[in-house]
Amino acid sequence: MDLSWDSVSGSELARYIIYRSDDAKQFRPVGIQEPGINRYTDFLGKTNLTVYYQVTASGRDYRESPSSVVNSSTRPFTDDELLTMLQEACFRYYWEGAQPDSGLARENIPGEDRLVATGASGFGIMALVAGVERGFITREQGVQRLTKIVDFLEKAPRYHGAWSHFIDGQTLPVFGIFENGGDIVETAGAPSSRSEGGPVISESVLCHSEPRQGRDKLRGESLFDLLLDEDLRWH
């Protein structure tokens, strides 16, 4: 079961608690989700099973505000349906979990919300391509996110054209004293580099002049030959 709910605002929110019932009467907790993540997947392992769910917003004092009760039933999946479910779940990790100011992929979820990873963001841009092609988001949504990413990377610190492994997604400076240099491996995996993100963007359903031009500009500024000559690799 794939559950989602509207976010609850307020500094007192500490957690979401997910409850499940077989009869809509006796509910038991089956999961906890952190604030900012409004989704939960519950694996039941059986087909033709009807269950009921309720999500509560739990405060720091452990008082809970419950949602309404919803129900759904499991059913057999075809191979294509199963693959689509897995692909959409992977896409959502990058789409919903992206750092909101930069659009780039966070290093970990949950974790430091500002910490974005350059190479992981290459996977994020590939997820954009798949998301548009499969209809999980519109082309306009994909281009908007891609433009945000390119605009951010144009302003991020670079060293001989290479980005650091980690960047502060809110304030742009390099994240941490040990990340004050270029990382050729992470840059090669970045969405505006020569690796997987670059060619796919320009030839895919995301093809659009503004982000593509920004991508090409950034890619041209990455001095891979110089970095390789200096035997610079990962960190």
Q: Are 173 and 102 in contact (CB under 8 A)?
A: no
pLDDT the model gives residue 139: 92
Task: Walk me through the domains of the chain, giving residue ranges and CATH numbers.
Answer: 2-73 (2.60.40.10), 80-229 (no CATH)
- Model confidence at 229: pLDDT above 90: no
Taking residues 81-94, what's their average pLDDT?
A: 92
- Model confidence at 29: pLDDT above 60: yes
212 pLDDT band (50/70/90 cuts)?
A: low
Q: Return contacts of 92-100, CB within 8 angstroms, 24+ apart.
A: 92/39, 92/136, 93/127, 94/123, 94/124, 94/127, 94/128, 95/127, 95/128, 95/131, 95/136, 95/137, 95/145, 96/39, 97/37, 98/124, 98/145, 99/169, 99/170
pLDDT in tens, 164-182: 888 888 887 776 656 667 7
pLDDT the model gives residue 199: 42
Taking residues 101-108, what's their average pLDDT?
A: 91
190 compared with 163, residue with greater pLDDT: 163
pLDDT the model gives residue 193: 43
Q: Is 86 exposed, middle or buried (0-12, 13-18, 19+ CB in 10 A)?
A: exposed
- Model confidence at 194: pLDDT above 60: no
pLDDT the model gives residue 227: 52
Residue 102 φ/ψ, nearest 5 degrees = -105, -25
pLDDT the model gives residue 223: 54
Percent of the chain with pLDDT over 70: 77
Percent of the chain with pLDDT over 90: 51
pLDDT in tens, 30-70: 999 999 889 999 999 999 999 999 999 999 999 999 999 99
Least confident range of 31-35, 138-142, 223-227: 223-227
Taking residues 143-161, what's their average pLDDT?
A: 87
pLDDT the model gives residue 3: 95
pLDDT the model gives residue 204: 46
Least confident range of 114-118, 134-138, 147-151, 180-184: 180-184
- Model confidence at 196: pLDDT above 50: no
210 pLDDT band (50/70/90 cuts)?
A: low
